[in-house]
Amino acid sequence: MDCIFCDIIEGKSEAEIIYEDERVISFLDIRPVNYGHTLVITKNHYENFLSVPVKELNAVIKAARKIAEAISISLKTDGFNIVANNGTAAGQSVFHFHFHIIPRYNTDKFHFRPELKNYSNGSMKEFADKIRTAVKK
Ligand code: AMP
Ligand code: ZN
């Protein structure tokens, strides 16, 4: 299986590694939205958020917190986005689960403002019911 992130983990491909522990590795995104844009990934290959076992998800979230804090302090950001694209429709291009941590500044020109919808009468409850019945306890 061809996976650029697995290649980075195995040392076959270069990366600016920011952090590493038993389960997680973090490195700079090669095409940053803003400089310092960092990815946090599990060392095991999982395609997306739903395929990551909870234990490893905990580890990756814990690491993401550390990295977000380090980015905020060291780059003096005004904020940051934590984003995970899941599936081609959502813009995922590398199918090894990752969080993006994107440094943000009041003056940056990056906007994520999609056209927002309105629910028609009663349809908000319909959507909520569909999702509620599918939530696993
Ligand atoms: P996504 O589109 O959410 O799957 O994000 C994949 C990200 O991986 C993109 O932002 C790419 O710029 C980044 N990327 C791809 N190849 C590399 C690489 N060799 N080193 C660092 N980042 C990479
Ligand atoms: Zn991989």
pTM: 0.96
**CA-CA distance, 94 to 46, in Å (whole number)?**
11
> Which of these, 31, 47, 35, lies nearest to 94 by C-alpha position?
47
Strands 24-28 and 98-104: unpaired
Q: Is the CB of 81 inside a 6 Å radius of any atom of ligand 1?
A: no
pLDDT at 114: 87
> What average pLDDT does the segment 108-113 reach?
86
Measured in residues, the chain has a length of: 137
Question: Which residue carries 């993401």 as its tokens?
Answer: 64
> What average pLDDT does the segment 18-44 reach?
98
pLDDT (tens digit per residue) in 49-75: 999 999 999 999 999 999 999 999 999
Q: Is the CB of 31 inside a 6 Å radius of any atom of ligand 1?
A: yes
In this structure, the residue with its CA closest to atom 18 of ligand 1 is 30
45 Cα to the center of ligand 2, angstroms: 4
Residue 105, both tokens: 């500044």
Residue type for position 63: A
In this structure, the residue with its CA closest to atom 15 of ligand 1 is 30
Going across the sheet that includes 38-42, the strands are 17-20, 24-28, 38-42, 98-104, 79-83
CATH class held by domain 4-136: alpha beta
- Residue 27's Cβ-count burial label (10 Å; 0-12, 13-18, 19+) is buried
Q: Is the CB of 124 inside a 6 Å radius of any atom of ligand 1?
A: no
Q: Is the CB of 48 inside a 6 Å radius of any atom of ligand 1?
A: no
Is 37 annotated in the active site?
Answer: no
pLDDT (tens digit per residue) in 65-102: 999 999 999 999 999 999 999 999 999 999 999 999 99
